[in-house]
């Protein structure tokens, strides 16, 4: 409720005029005065818990937090007085007395808000004795919580509650033992967590991390018996070098391919290839359902996001049959690599290791689903690493990204169209599907930019497109599980009706995924998504059905979309594995 | 060297004495939901600091208990640890030299029994069962969960009508509660840590008396479902109000001539003026409730001529029934002469006053038996009815009376005699069977009972004769349960047996709540039961109507609250007020309401409030 009336105050002697309803923190920003924060996360965690952002206001006895205190006319604020600095330093030292500040051995070394604050405040010793709490946590979990690093900022709880509406994290205990745990006294594995990883990317320190699987990748690479195949998800190319010293313009997909080659993978392939394949299968499936309306439950949902699949299984199990049976691009890739590609190259599929680089923590659980083994009986995808793990491997191998040449993905599973690369942004799957569905019905291509209504950062978008010969197709696109729940409630209550719905669990889609590089306080889904839309715009081919290697795959091996072989390799039974239910449904 | 010195406390001692006061207030303001093991440990540490250190079990034993309990909290204990704690504590109880150690260890033993599950959870599952489910103490302690910080903020903003609207979301009786609520909300007000609890009831009273006409929210579309409410008191009318807002068709059956239950027939007008109760009931009924007064619901009209409608007929006609018949029968002492003329019960006396049928007390010596709030209502009403002398006879001490201290003080100020430590023995009657005196046996105060109230014992003194023209028994009330078993309604210890959701065990659309389930309790508990019943009857009928409000509460953003005295309500002077039934309590001035409302610490926002949410916007 920002009132447009202007309020004038002084901050460190500078006069500032800002709209009424502005916080001291934001008012200071308008005159380039930085007030340090730790727990604060705009619109998500405004609880003034850490007391690092406290400032002095003339006439008040006590200091006030800049993050939640609103400006008042004539207020005189000091952000750097002795009292403020002393308070900030003491509070930091108190937090550090319960933080396992063994920075070299921390995953967030060099990218930690607490480390930065300690450095900026010149803290070189701590008079308070160390009293570091510990709590057991299985490190085989996809998401790992380290009590000894938690600063109780409560951001994980808030992101999970407010943005994702999952309520997995909760406050545990009272008094000095107040901490964070899984709600309702469950373990993570017992919970209905979607594994989206938003808690990890919003943790200011190293208390939450995704499971690190890089050592398994190194082991596969160095094993001469094993052929290593890496696939890279669309959204990874928008973020892979954010912490590696390259500007977005320099961090091209070509450089990324060279970097992966330097790590020693035998084949560098692209999940874009199977994103195009997904469009062929899912697009055909949609048309099949659309032309046999009575035989199916509506709407049809996309199935490429494992966080979303976990969500629907755990929260709205009655809608599982509305999911497309098409596997996700990652899993299609594994299945094709260990069948078609292995046969083509004369490789023993049991000696192939398929590694995925994903912007996602839930993908690690997807590849471990017991029924994702259709090519040869082994898991179709062996190891999933996140964008952050790729970054760690490149550092570990001392790959100097700034001197890398451009190189091409390998053939044939390295070919992708503009329609595939946008899978990494909200609306992209829908956009790509509509482009090909239009072609499949009419026999001619639409304008590749005919479906822009599904693009953009709105959490819930809807549009109706006329496809000549098929009729009006009513679609919706949501991203973020909070928006998803709103949509599901509306569908459940019959308030909205759609034919086809794209869901991505992370706000903004995979570009903002829980496996992407972490920049505290910054939401980068939009600018990463823009990179992907730009790649699409400049792609020589912008329709999945025109991908020549996908066409070859059908001609040589699969025959046709939804054919017998496709059904076996590229589709899955979403009932084939167990997912804990939301406790409210029990 | 002087032979004697005048003792003056050192400066350090003076400061420590202040800190004791601070701690007392702090403990008083402990929010519900804290980890009981953690609290017990820290109480123990406080006790240990009080030890003189002479004897072994106190000096060392309490410290070891503390270490063991810390192990439990840190998840380092085993079930054997619990046994060690128990043995050690028992030994300390049995063997310290003075009360400091014994009492400290007993506190630990009590906890081992009282919150055993919490101990075990810490040991076995490494976590606490406790959690701050509702971070706002006043809201957590209000049975109806009224948004107290919300309406106080609205009063501070001068939005009195909105304050009333917000209260009505959870409680359709804002006026009644403004006048007579026992305000459990104030008990743990965080403001107590600074100075004194907020005067919540006083602020509410200011709001209701300055709000003007406040319309009710519109009713949901008609559902076609019919609900009968038996009993037109606070609980029944609360259920009727919300069920009507939810779109159901509600009919209330009331045995008395007028609605209001104990608010009218138990509480005297000098505490809750008649025009105020009429105003409140008129507002509740204005949502469209059908009312039949003077109707008795019973088992069988053929055998009992008092029965107007049978319970079976209600079951046939309605989709659901809410029983809220209160606790309106009086208890008997069983002493000799109890049935003499001029002996009446509190229920009878206050009931007649409720129907404006004033009993003749002028010039009479009235003796009232009892020490609860009802006894005070009776004594103070007797004074107002012109009695020459009113005495209140009670078995224990004045400080043991269950009546609110301010009620006792009020009665004293109005000239009531408190005859304490007098156990009634018999009533002496004259040849016409009229009571002429109450005989009592003087008592001496004795050991504490389980509830930590001292039991009176017979004193070595002869019996007393207290002359009386009228004797009123105010020793408690019960539920009229006659014939209920026949209707298929289960009775448990003299009350109707109902679940937490107010449904009866039979589960066939009959619900019950208020005094008839809890035994005589407060108005706000009865109101809360009506709210619970409304929600669950709605679900039972297959709906999920939500009660909400469009009132937006101002967000506080500035927390600078120095200690400041609490605004208390004044009363009319005793000599004047005791002559009439007009309201005795004055209300806050606008200035006072402004001052008092801005004292609120806004726990709905500061502390846990802005994190885990200090407000439930609908139910």
Contacts 24+ apart (CB under 8 A), B311-316: B311/B487, B312/B487, B314/B228, B314/B230, B314/B253, B315/B509, B315/B510
Closest residue in chain A to residue B130, using alpha carbons only: A173
Q: Do B35 and A175 touch (CB under 8 A)?
A: yes
The answer to whether B135 touches B608, Cβ cutoff 8 Å, is: yes
B560: chain A residues, CB-CB within 8 Å: 60-62, 64
* Class of residue B58 by CB neighbours under 10 A (exposed 0-12, middle 13-18, buried 19+): buried
To 5 degrees, how large is the angle CA A343–CA A345–CA A350?
60
Angle at A339 between CA A338 and CA A345, to 5 degrees: 85
List the structure tokens of A231.
């696939």
Reply yes or no on whether the pLDDT at B249 is more than 80.
Answer: yes
Dihedral angle of Cα A519, A525, A531, A535, to the nearest 10 degrees: 140
| A64-78, B4-18, B244-258: the lowest-pLDDT one | B4-18
ipTM above 0.90, yes or no: no
Residue A510's H or E segment, with its range, is none
Q: Is A177 on the interface with B (CB under 8 A)?
A: yes
Min Cα separation B608/chain A (Å): 8
Distance to chain B for A582, nearest Cα, Å: 20
A60 at B interface, C-beta within 8 A: yes
**What pairs with residue B293 in β-bridges?**
B254
Residues of A in contact with B558 (CB under 8 A): 64, 69-70, 72
The answer to whether B27 faces chain A, any CB pair under 8 Å, is no
Q: Note whether B203 and B588 are within 8 A (CB).
A: yes
Between CA A270 and CA A257 the distance in angstroms is 9
From the list A556, A541, A278, A538, the residue with the least C-alpha distance to A412 is A556
Task: Inform me whether the C-beta atom of residue B416 falls under 8 Å from chain A C-beta atoms.
Answer: no
Residue B149 CB burial class (10 angstroms; 0-12, 13-18, ≥19) = buried
Confidence of residue B262 (pLDDT cuts 50, 70, 90): very high
Residue B290 in contact with residue B252, Cβ under 8 Å?
yes
Q: How far apart are CA B337 and CA A496, in angstroms?
A: 76
**Rounded distance, CA B153 to CA B594, Å?**
10
Contact B35 A171 (CB under 8 A): no
Element (H, E) at A286: helix A271-291
- Sign of the CA dihedral B421, B425, B431, B434? positive
Q: Are A504 and A529 in contact (CB under 8 A)?
A: no
Summarize pLDDT for A318-360 with one digit per residue, the tens.
999 999 999 999 999 999 999 999 999 999 999 999 999 999 9
The SS3 assignment for A171 reads strand
Q: How many beta-carbon pairs below 8 A join chains A and B?
A: 55
Q: What is the mean pLDDT of residues A175-203?
A: 94
Which residues in A lie closer than 8 A to residue B611 (C-beta atoms)? 47, 49, 154, 158
DSSP code, position A545: G
Find the CB nearest B131 among A60, A69, A174: A174
Instruction: Give the residue on A whose Cα is nearest the Cα of B75.
Output: A135
Contacts 24+ apart (CB under 8 A), A459-467: A459/A483, A459/A507, A460/A486, A460/A487, A461/A427, A462/A496, A462/A498, A465/A434, A467/A434, A467/A437, A467/A438, A467/A441, A467/A442
Task: Measure B152 CA to nearest chain A CA, in Å.
Answer: 20
Q: What distance in Å separates the CA atoms of residue B395 and residue B333, rounded to the nearest whole number?
A: 13
CB–CB contact A181 B127 (8 Å): yes
Asked if residue B384 lies in contact with residue B362, where contact means CB atoms within 8 angstroms, the answer is no
How is residue B166 written in tokens?
């917000």
Among the residue ranges A82-96, A515-529, B92-106, B481-495, the one predicted with the least confidence is: B481-495
Average pLDDT value for residue range A484-503:
96
Facing A177 at nearest CB: one of B33, B38, B125: B38
What is the reported pLDDT for A224? 96
pLDDT of residue B53: 87
Q: What stretch of H or E contains A334?
A: helix A329-336
User: At which residue do the structure tokens 């093991």 appear?
Assistant: B37
Residues of B in contact with A64 (CB under 8 A): 558-560
CA quadruple A103, A107, A110, A113: dihedral, nearest 10: -80
For A60-64, B64-68, B194-198, which range has the lowest pLDDT when averaged over its residues?
Answer: A60-64
A496 pLDDT higher than 60:
yes
Cis peptide leading into A420, omega within 30 of 0? no
Residue among B136, B153, B154 nearest B145 (CA): B136
How much is the pTM? 0.87
Q: Are B47 and A151 in contact (CB under 8 A)?
A: no
Q: How far apart are CA B299 and CA B481, in angstroms?
A: 11
Chain A contact present for B124, CB below 8 A: no
Which residues are CB-contacts of B67 (< 8 A; sequence separation ≥ 6)?
none
Q: Do B35 and A174 touch (CB under 8 A)?
A: yes
Tell me the C-alpha distance between B147 and A338, whole Å: 62
Of residues B301 and B199, more confidence is placed in: B199
**d(C-alpha A500, C-alpha B405), whole Å:** 69
pLDDT of res. B299: 74
How many other CB atoms sit within 10 Å of the CB of residue B618? 9
- Check CB contact of B612 with chain A, cutoff 8 Å: yes
CA dihedral (B280, B284, B290, B296) in degrees, to 10, reads -50
Stretch 98-137 of chain A: residues touching chain B, C-beta under 8 Å? 135-136
What is the pLDDT, as a whole number, of residue B132?
66
d(C-alpha B443, C-alpha B412), whole Å:
21
Closest-CA distance of chain A to residue B130, Å:
7
Report pLDDT digits (tens) over B448-469.
Answer: 998 889 999 999 999 999 999 9
Residue with tokens 């020589």: A540
Over pLDDT 70: what percentage of chain B? 98
CB B393 within 8 A of CB B424: yes
3-state DSSP assignment of residue B349 = helix
Residues A91 and A63: their CA atoms lie apart, in Å, by: 13
Judge whether residue A1 has pLDDT over 50. no
**Of residues A452, A453, A449, A422, the one with CA closest to residue A530:** A422
Q: Give Dmax over CA atoms of chain A in angstroms.
A: 80
Q: Can you read off the two tokens belonging to residue B214?
A: 């406040």
What is each CA distance from A422 to A427, A430, A438, A528, A530, in whole angstroms? 8, 9, 18, 11, 9
Residues of A in contact with B604 (CB under 8 A): none
User: Residue A90: CB partners within 8 Å, gap ≥ 6?
Assistant: none
Is any Cβ of chain A less than 8 angstroms from the Cβ of B73?
Answer: yes
A352-358/A383-386 β-pairing = parallel
Using CA atoms, how far apart are residues A228 and A236, in angstroms rounded to an integer?
19
Q: Given an 8 Å threshold on Cβ–Cβ distance, is B126 in contact with A136?
A: yes
Q: CA-based Rg of chain A, rounded to a whole angstrom?
A: 25
Q: Determine the average pLDDT of the residues in A490-500.
A: 95
User: Can you give the pLDDT at residue A2?
Assistant: 46
Sort out which chain B residues have CB atoms less than 8 A from A176's CB and list them: 38
Residue A148 contacts B, CB cutoff 8 Å = no
Q: What is the mean pLDDT of residues B357-372?
A: 93
The percentage of residues in chain A with a pLDDT greater than 90, rounded to a whole number, is 93
Is A177–B73 a contact, with Cβ atoms under 8 angstroms apart? yes
Q: Contact B108/B44 with Cβ under 8 angstroms?
A: yes
H helix or E strand, kind and range, residue A332: helix A329-336
Give the pair of three-digit tokens for residue A105.
């051995």
A412 cis-preceded (ω within 30 degrees of 0): yes
**CB neighbours (10 Å) of residue A77?**
27
Chain A closest CA to B603's CA: distance in Å?
13
Mean pLDDT, chain B, integer? 92
Cα of B602 to nearest chain A Cα, Å: 14
Task: Compute the mean pLDDT over every residue in chain A, rounded to the nearest whole number.
Answer: 95
Measured CA to CA in angstroms, residue B603 lies from A197, B137, B556 at distances of: 32, 8, 10
Neighbours of A548 (CB within 10 A): 11
Which residues in chain A are closer than 8 Å to B38, comparing Cβ atoms?
174-177
Closest by Cα among A136, A171, A161 to A49: A171
SS3 label, residue B175: helix
Nearest Cα residue in chain B from A60: B560
Tokens representing B374?
């009802």
Q: Give the closest of A49, A174, A185 to B38, CB-based.
A: A174
Whether the per-residue pLDDT at A31 is higher than 80: the answer is: yes
Question: DSSP characters for B195-209?
Answer: SS---HHHHHHHHHH
Phi, psi values for residue B107, rounded to 5°: -60, -40
Residues of A in contact with B75 (CB under 8 A): 135
d(C-alpha B471, C-alpha B427), whole Å: 9
Q: What is the mean pLDDT of residues A125-151?
A: 91
Angle among Cα A529, A534, A535 to the nearest 5 degrees reads 100
Kindly indicate the confidence band of residue B125, based on its pLDDT and cuts at 50, 70 and 90. Answer: confident
Contact A174 B610 (CB under 8 A): no
Q: Which residue of A has its CA nearest to B559?
A: A64
- All residues of chain B having their beta carbon less than 8 Å from the beta carbon of residue A135 are 75, 126
Cβ–Cβ gap B35/A61 under 8 Å:
no
Instruction: Indicate if the pLDDT at residue A3 is higher than 70.
Output: no
Residues within 8 A of A (CB atoms), B 515-574 only = 557-560, 562
Residue among B33, B75, B560 minimizing CB distance to A61: B560
């Amino acid at each position: 409720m920002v009132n447009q009336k202007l309020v004038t105050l002084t901050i460190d002697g500078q006069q500032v005029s800002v709209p009424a309803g502005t916080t001291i923190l934001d008012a200071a920003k308008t005159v380039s005065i930085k007030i340090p924060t730790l727990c604060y996360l705009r619109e998500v965690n405004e609880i003034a818990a850490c007391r690092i952002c406290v400032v002095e206001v003339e006439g008040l006895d006590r200091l006030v937090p800049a993050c939640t205190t609103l400006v008042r006319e004539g207020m005189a604020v000091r952000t750097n007085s002795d009292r403020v600095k002393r308070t900030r330093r003491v509070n930091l030292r108190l937090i550090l007395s319960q933080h396992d500040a063994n920075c070299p051995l921390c995953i967030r070394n060099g990218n930690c808000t607490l480390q930065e604050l300690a450095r900026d405040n010149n803290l070189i010793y701590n008079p308070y004795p160390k009293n570091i709490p510990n709590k057991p946590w299985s490190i085989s979990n996809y998401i790992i919580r380290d009590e000894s690093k938690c600063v109780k900022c409560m951001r994980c709880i808030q992101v999970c509650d407010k943005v994702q509406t999952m309520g997995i994290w909760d406050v545990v205990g009272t008094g000095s033992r107040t901490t964070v745990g899984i709600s309702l006294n469950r373990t993570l594995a017992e919970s209905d967590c979607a594994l989206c990883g938003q808690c990890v990317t919003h943790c200011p320190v190293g208390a939450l991390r995704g499971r690190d699987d890089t050592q398994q990748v190194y082991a596969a690479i160095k094993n001469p018996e094993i052929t290593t195949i890496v696939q890279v998800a669309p959204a990874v190319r928008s973020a892979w070098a954010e912490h590696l010293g390259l500007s977005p313009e320099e961090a091209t997909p070509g450089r990324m391919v060279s970097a992966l080659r330097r790590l020693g993978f035998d084949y560098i392939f692209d999940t874009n290839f199977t994103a195009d394949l997904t469009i062929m299968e899912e697009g055909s499936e949609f048309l099949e359902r659309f032309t046999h309306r009575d035989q199916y439950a509506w709407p049809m949902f996309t199935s490429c996001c494992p966080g979303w699949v976990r969500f629907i299984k755990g929260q709205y199990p009655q809608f599982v049959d509305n999911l497309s049976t098409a596997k996700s691009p990652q899993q299609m890739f594994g299945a094709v690599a260990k069948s078609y590609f292995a046969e083509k190259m004369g490789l023993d599929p049991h000696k192939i290791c398929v590694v995925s680089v994903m912007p996602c923590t839930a993908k690690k659980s997807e590849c471990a689903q017991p029924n994702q083994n259709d090519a040869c009986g082994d898991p179709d995808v062996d190891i999933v690493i996140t964008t952050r793990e790729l970054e760690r491997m490149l550092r570990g191998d001392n790959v100097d990204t700034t001197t890398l040449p451009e190189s091409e993905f390998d053939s044939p599973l390295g070919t992708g169209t503009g329609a595939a690369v946008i899978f990494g942004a909200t609306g992209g799957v829908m956009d790509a599907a509509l482009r090909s569905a239009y072609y499949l019905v009419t026999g001619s291509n639409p304008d590749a930019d005919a479906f822009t209504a599904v693009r953009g950062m709105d959490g819930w978008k809807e549009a109706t497109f006329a496809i000549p010969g098929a009729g009006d197709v009513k679609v919706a696109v949501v991203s973020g599980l909070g928006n998803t729940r709103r949509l599901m409630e509306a569908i459940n209550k019959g308030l909205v009706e759609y034919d086809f719905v794209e869901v991505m669990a992370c706000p903004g889609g995979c570009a903002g995924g829980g496996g992407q590089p972490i920049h505290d306080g910054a939401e980068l889904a939009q600018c990463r998504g823009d990179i992907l839309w730009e790649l699409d715009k400049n792609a020589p081919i912008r329709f999945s059905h025109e991908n020549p290697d996908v066409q070859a795959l059908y001609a040589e091996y699969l025959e046709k979309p939804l054919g017998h072989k496709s059904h076996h390799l590229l589709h899955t039974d979403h009932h084939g594995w167990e997912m804990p239910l939301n406790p409210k449904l029990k | 060297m002087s032979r004697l010195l005048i003792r003056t406390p050192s400066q350090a001692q003076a400061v420590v004495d202040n800190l004791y006061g601070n701690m007392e207030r702090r403990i008083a303001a402990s929010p519900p939901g804290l980890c009981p093991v953690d609290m017990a440990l820290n109480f123990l540490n406080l006790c240990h600091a009080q030890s003189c250190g002479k004897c072994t079990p106190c000096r060392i034993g309490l410290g070891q208990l503390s270490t063991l309990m810390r192990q439990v909290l840190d998840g380092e204990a085993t079930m054997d640890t619990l046994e060690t704690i128990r043995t050690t504590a028992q030994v300390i109880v049995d063997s310290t030299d003075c009360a400091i150690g014994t009492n400290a260890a007993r506190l630990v033993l009590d906890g081992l029994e009282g919150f055993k599950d919490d101990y075990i959870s810490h040991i076995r599952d490494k976590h606490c069962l406790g959690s701050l489910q509702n971070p706002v103490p006043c809201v957590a302690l209000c049975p109806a969960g009224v948004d107290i910080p919300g309406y106080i903020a609205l009063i501070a903003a001068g939005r009195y009508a909105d304050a009333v609207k917000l209260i009505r979301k959870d409680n359709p009786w804002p006026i009644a509660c403004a006048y007579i609520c026992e305000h459990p909300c104030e008990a743990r007000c965080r403001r107590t840590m600074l100075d004194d609890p907020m005067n919540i009831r006083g602020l509410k009273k200011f709001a209701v008396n300055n709000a003007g006409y406040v319309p009710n929210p519109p009713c949901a579309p008609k559902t076609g479902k019919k609900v009968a409410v038996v009993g037109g008191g606070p609980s029944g009318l609360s259920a009727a109000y919300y069920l009507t807002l939810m779109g159901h068709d509600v009919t209330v059956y009331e045995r008395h001539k007028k609605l209001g239950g104990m608010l009218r027939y138990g509480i005297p007008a000098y505490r809750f003026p008649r025009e105020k109760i009429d105003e409140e009931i008129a507002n509740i009924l204005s949502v469209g409730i059908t009312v039949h007064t003077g109707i008795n619901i019973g088992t069988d009209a053929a055998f009992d001529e008092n029965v107007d409608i049978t319970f079976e007929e209600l079951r046939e006609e309605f989709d659901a029934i809410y029983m809220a018949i209160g606790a309106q029968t009086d208890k008997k002492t069983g002493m000799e002469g109890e049935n003499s003329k001029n002996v009446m019960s509190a229920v009878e006396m206050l009931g007649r006053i409720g129907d404006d049928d004033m009993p003749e007390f002028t010039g009479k010596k009235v003796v009232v038996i009892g020490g609860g709030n009802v006894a005070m209502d009776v004594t103070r009403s007797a004074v107002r009815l012109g009695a020459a002398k009113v005495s209140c006879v009670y078995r224990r001490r004045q400080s043991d009376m269950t009546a609110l201290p301010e009620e006792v003080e009020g009665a004293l100020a109005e000239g009531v005699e408190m005859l304490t430590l007098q156990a009634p023995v018999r009533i002496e009657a004259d040849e016409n069977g009229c009571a002429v005196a109450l005989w009592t046996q003087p008592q001496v105060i004795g050991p504490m009972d389980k509830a930590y109230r001292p039991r009176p014992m017979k004193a070595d003194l002869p019996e007393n004769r207290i002359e009386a023209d009228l004797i009123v028994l105010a020793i408690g009330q019960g539920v009229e349960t006659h014939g209920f078993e026949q209707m298929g309604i289960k009775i448990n210890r003299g009350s109707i047996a109902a679940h937490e959701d107010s449904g009866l065990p039979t589960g066939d659309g009959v619900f019950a709540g208020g005094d008839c389930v809890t035994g005589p309790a407060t108005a706000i508990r009865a109101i809360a039961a009506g709210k619970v019943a409304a929600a669950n009857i709605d679900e039972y009928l297959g709906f999920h109507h939500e009660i909400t409000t469009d009132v937006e509460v101002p967000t506080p953003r500035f927390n600078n609250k120095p200690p400041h005295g609490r605004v208390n309500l004044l009363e009319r002077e005793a000599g004047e007020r005791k002559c009439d039934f007009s309201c005795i309590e004055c209300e806050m001035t606008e200035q006072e309401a402004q001052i008092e409302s801005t004292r609120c610490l806004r726990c709905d926002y500061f502390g846990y409030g802005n994190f885990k949410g200090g407000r439930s916007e609908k139910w």
